[in-house]
Amino acid sequence: MNPLFESVGFEENPVYEQLIADIGKQQYSIVENFFIQDEVALLRQMLQEKHQADAFKKAAIGNRVNETIEKSIRGDFILWMDERKANTVEQLFFNRINHLVDYLNRTCFLGILQKEFHYALYPKGTFYKRHIDTFQNDDRRKLSLVCYLNEEDWLPENGGELVLYLNENGEEMEKVIYPFPGRIVIFESQIIEHEVRPVNTARLSITGWLKTR
């Protein structure tokens, strides 16, 4: 263990340390099994229930101040989550996220004071064109975090890849990430342009942002 951690009674977490190292090196990280399959199944059921109850709305672009709905840019349906009204399944989700945020704040001094998350469902044929997650009128989003809730037998031919556009020594490089269940992707909101390629089967996720005040 890192002697500094030992002296302050801090438990080093190898998964989070890898995530922090990845972000430092390449501005993104992929963590497998952040949620185990049983947890993914519960979160997926919750998303589906809320979707069937017709609680989702067509996602807009821009933030709440200047939002417009633009099907040629993004075709997903979303539902914002409210931590204060979280049910037991959503509490499980937020507990895990808060644990990570606590660790990031203690070790990286990121100053994450706010967060916002929404369920997302991309119906067949939809996509989200190349974009960046910060708004012209608001740069508080620091880290974007996507949790995939698809079925265990999700196939590459289902599409819906997340593509990160990376800059490697001045050259653009595409990092293609499949939305496999349990996987989370975390990346720097202000730097990484990305897109969701067209999906051939409904694609389920929770997406959110860790923000400074």
Ligand X SMILES: O=C(O)CCC(=O)C(=O)O
Judged by the rule CB under 6 A, the positions of this chain that interact with ligand X are 128, 133, 146, 162, 194, 196, 205, 207
Q: Binding segment for Fe ion among 91-99, 102-110, 126-134, 177-185 (CB under 5 A)?
A: 126-134
**Least distance CB 119 / ligand X (angstroms):** 11
Half-sphere exposure of 114 (CA within 13 A, CB side): 8
- Looking at the Cβ atoms of 104 and 143, the one nearer to Fe ion is 143
Q: How far is the CB of 131 from ligand X (least distance, A)?
A: 7
Residue 93 CB, nearest distance to Fe ion (Å)? Answer: 19
**CB contact at 8 A, 146 and 207:** yes
**Which residues within the stretch 132-151 sit at the binding site for Fe ion (CB under 5 A)?**
133
Give residue for tokens 């996507």. Answer: 146
Phi and psi at residue 57, in whole multiples of 5°? Answer: -130, 160
Distance separating the N- and C-terminal Cα atoms of the chain: 32
Question: Do residues 169 and 4 make contact, with C-beta atoms less than 8 angstroms apart?
Answer: no
- Closest residue to ligand X using C-beta atoms: 162
Residue whose CB is less far from ligand X, 13 or 191: 191
- Residues for the chain: how many in total? 213
The residue among 100 and 204 lying less far from ligand X, judged by its C-beta, is 204
Q: How far is the CB of 131 from Fe ion (least distance, A)?
A: 6
**76 forms part of the interface with Fe ion (CB under 5 A):** no
DSSP bridge pairs for 29: 186
Residue nearest to Fe ion (CB): 133
Tell me how far apart the alpha carbons of residues 18 and 34 are, in angstroms, rounded to a whole number. 13
C-alpha 40/C-alpha 56 separation (Å) is: 19
Strand order in the sheet with 28-31: 28-31, 184-188, 141-148, 203-211, 114-122, 77-80, 57-58
Is residue 30 within 8 Å of residue 182, measured between CB atoms?
A: no
In 3D, which of 159, 157, 98, 167 has the Cα closest to residue 132? 167
101 versus 179: smaller Cβ distance to ligand X:
179
Q: Give the rounded distance of the alpha carbon of 87 from its chain centre.
A: 20
C-beta closer to ligand X: residue 39 or 133: 133
* Shortest CB 144 distance to Fe ion, Å: 6
Q: Which is nearer to ligand X, 29 or 207 (CB)?
A: 207
Stretch that binds Fe ion, among 3-11, 37-45, 54-62, 130-138 (CB under 5 A): 130-138
Q: Which does 143 bind (CB under 5 to 8 A by kind): Fe ion, ligand X, none?
A: none
Binding site for Fe ion (CB under 5 A): 133
